[in-house]
Amino acid sequence: MTKINSVAVVGGTHGNEFSGIYLLRKWQNNLNLISRGSFSVQTVFANPKAHEENKRYVDSDLNRQFDIAELANLDLANYEQSRAKVINNQLGPKGNAKTDFIIDLHNTTSNMGPSLILLQSDEFNCKMGAYVKSRMPEAVVVFEDHASVEEHYFLSSITLQGVIVEIGPQPQSVIRQDVLDWMEDMTRHILDYVDLHNTNALPELPSSYEAFEYKETLKLPENENGERIGMVHKNVQDGDFKQLNSGDPIFTLFDGSEICWEGDYEAYPHFINEAAYYDNNLAMSLAKKRIVEI
């Protein structure tokens, strides 16, 4: 992995996820808090209009607008599609970015704690997970890697390397000190890791660590008209990253009956009952446990 020369810390990709926005304001007043000697750093407030309107987004989810073909399509010009093109021009362009690394700051209403979402399983990212967990034992590492970053449509996929800091639980349009502190600590550890990587000064890392690998997303129970007919089971609610076995109840229907998990693997739910996903009737993501060898 070559040297990281430029880093962008992005907040407010979703306008009602407040932690990243308030941290950006803090860091903009004192850039030394996130500056490191071996790279330049900039802050980006991704979706100011959505924040002004106290919404996740104005027209469409900004964090789903960074497909290369869609970025090049000038007919896609609603507010978030236009913002994506502006941000891509500022930090990218995707595929040949002038920025080397993006840290995109997010909140979730789910009980995920301080989660680091990695888009690749290369040595740089695997070691980053090890370093963050060594400094922050409560951190959870989740891999959502595909064959190439270009297959991602997240903002953090503009650059060759990018991560998502996902901290919860925090209601939309609310600030919690514990969540804010987790986000600030995790961001600091990531920046420290990049600096140590650049200067060949990484300390000895654990030989392995426990992480999770995304497998699939489950929808809430629906009828033939696409209407919700059930909810997340109370035994699953708030149990992010707790083991779910085949036969365990996962949904309760409004008539009182239950639906059980019938998967062929030990699943670890996360993003459980995420409020932002209700417009798509999404219930949770499932992951497998993974041991990452360093």
Q: Which neighbouring-strand residues pair with 23? A: none
Q: Is the pLDDT of residue 150 over 90?
A: no
Average pLDDT of the residues in 206-225: 96
**Percent of the residues in the chain that have a pLDDT greater than 70, as a whole number:** 98
Strands (E), the chain: 6-11, 40-45, 101-107, 113-118, 140-143, 161-168, 208-219, 230-232, 249-253, 258-260, 268-270, 282-293
**What pLDDT, in 10s, does the model give residues 82-118?**
999 999 999 999 999 999 999 999 999 999 999 999 9
Q: Note the pLDDT of residue 145.
A: 80
The mean pLDDT value for 250-269 works out to 97
Residue 143 clears pLDDT 80, i.e. is over it? yes
Mean pLDDT across the stretch 8-19? 98
The answer to whether residues 57 and 45 touch, using CB atoms and an 8 Å cutoff, is no
The pLDDT of residue 31 is 95
Rounded distance between C-alpha atoms, residue 7 and residue 103, angstroms: 8
Mean pLDDT of the chain: 96
Residue 215 pLDDT exceeds 70: yes
pLDDT the model gives residue 146:
64
Nearest CA-CA partner of 18 in 209, 176, 194, 207: 176
Q: For residues 231 and 220, is the Cβ–Cβ distance under 8 A?
A: yes
63: burial class by Cβ within 10 Å (0-12, 13-18, 19+)?
buried
Mean pLDDT of 36-60: 98
